[in-house]
A and B are shown apart, each in its own frame.
Chain A
Amino acid sequence: MLIYNHMVVDTLELPDGDRVFQALADATRRDIVMRTLQGEQSVSVLARSYPMSFAAVQKHVAVLERAGLVTKRRRGREQLVQGNVLTLRSVLGLLEQFEAMWRSRIERIDEILAEESDEGDTK
């Protein structure tokens, strides 16, 4: 990652951006993230929700885990999966920051257009 210091900005921590986005590029994985954000779920319960094998769901969970989007822990024979709010916040936060950038540009455009209509000068 290149570091440029001539402008200082408060960036979000995103440990590995590519992994995060690849993990979120799949509908099942997005669904797993959303469900496990609401509370811990076992892999076997999750597996029953999707038309795929236990092993396939386990693979999805592994991808999410590597991306930091969920954490996994064992309880007896069960594997419990918990969504990681901080990582998802970071992903959305990236787009959120570009949204803020454009919103402020549009506010300035609004001001330019408004001052002209005040002057009755429509160019």
Chain B
Amino acid sequence: MTVTSIRKDPAALSMTITTEFDSPIGRVWQLWENPRQLERWWGPPTYPATVVDHDLTPGGKVSYFMTGPDGGQSRGYWRVLAVDAPYRLDFENGFADDDGSPNPNMPVMVIQVVLTDRPDGGTRMAIETTFPSPDAMTQILSMGIEEGMTLAVSQIDGIL
């Protein structure tokens, strides 16, 4: 496991996960920049993602659908806010209608990715996800966009 830190801030409605990779920064950037790479990790094996549009420029759009075991599809999109290859990518991540257009009734989360060169040639990647409201969080979770729905209760027990 390469995750080195997790910061959860209930008051700010944000979570930051920091990861270290041995691979150089250009290689790690490819995971975001290359749609074929992106679709290998964005969705879980049970809901693999297929990327349709992929325009990593400010204001650009990335659109994708995820296909479930029953063949059902869930569409999502990114709206790119800022790009500074290979160091930074900010985007909004939301849900899309069946025709791929953003669903204005669904919440949007902001994701900020920061890549940093390590002196040893590796890369640090920090991903911050911010939610507009607690209701948005519950709504996004209830959409079940991802499989990450198992609770690591042990960690909460530690706090309590």
Contacts and interface: CB of A to CB of B under 8 A. Distances in A.
Contact of B11 (A1, A25, A92, A99): A25
B138 A17 contact: yes
A106 B133 CA distance: 25
Contact of A103 (B17, B28, B144, B145): B17
Contacts of A104: 44, 146-148
Interface string B1-36: 111001010110101010101110001101100000
Nearest to A122: B27
Contact of A113 (B6, B23, B160): B23
B68 interface: yes
Interface stretch (A2-10, A48-56, A72-80): A2-10
Interface in A73-123: 85, 88-89, 91-110, 112-113, 117, 122-123
Nearest to B6: A99
Contacts of B11: 21, 24-25
Nearest to B144: A9
Q: How large is the interface on A (under 10, 10 to 19, 20 to 34, 35 or more residues)?
A: 35 or more
Interface of A: 1-4, 6-12, 14, 17-18, 20-21, 24-25, 37, 85, 88-89, 91-110, 112-113, 117, 122-123
Interface of B: 1-3, 6, 8, 10-11, 13, 15, 17, 19, 21-23, 27-28, 30-31, 37, 40-42, 44, 47, 68, 72, 74, 105-106, 127, 129, 133-135, 137-139, 141-153, 155-156, 159-160
